[in-house]
Amino acid sequence: MFFKTASRINPQTGNLSIYYRLVENSRNALGGIFQRNIMTVGYMDDVSTEELHRIADVLNDRISGQGTLIEESQKVKGYVDHLYTRLVKEKRIDRVLDSRKKL
């Protein structure tokens, strides 16, 4: 999963800002590659490019059920928690369940 960007006028500020969408690459039955829009995120004006990449990496790790060894900033943790909760709540992803847990 990664962020795709588009420049738009932010209606709240009236300034040109970056608008983000969460996208994943997939293959169809014929082997063709396409991109699927997972979720519209919106404006994240307070996030740097490095933080944006970390958010995507940590979000991918959480979705796949992997932990991360690197301590993240509060801003990155906040965005990851918010986006992951939205992804699950809006049923945009299937959660990986731990096979050791009893249902």
Range of the domain at 69: 2-89
Domain membership of residue 96 (yes or no) is no
Q: Is 83 part of a structural domain of the chain? A: yes
Going residue by residue through the chain, which has 103 residues, state the pLDDT in tens, using 9 for 90 and above.
999 999 999 999 999 999 999 999 888 888 899 999 999 999 999 999 999 999 999 999 988 888 777 778 899 999 999 999 999 999 888 765 554 444 4
* Overall number of domains in the chain: 1
3-class SS string, the chain: CEEEEEEEECCCCCCEEEEEEEEEEEECCCCCEEEEEEEEEEECCCCCHHHHHHHHHHHHHHHHCCCCCCCCCHHHHHHHHHHHHHHHHCCCCCCCCCCCCCC
Kindly report whether the global pTM for this prediction surpasses the value 0.85.
no
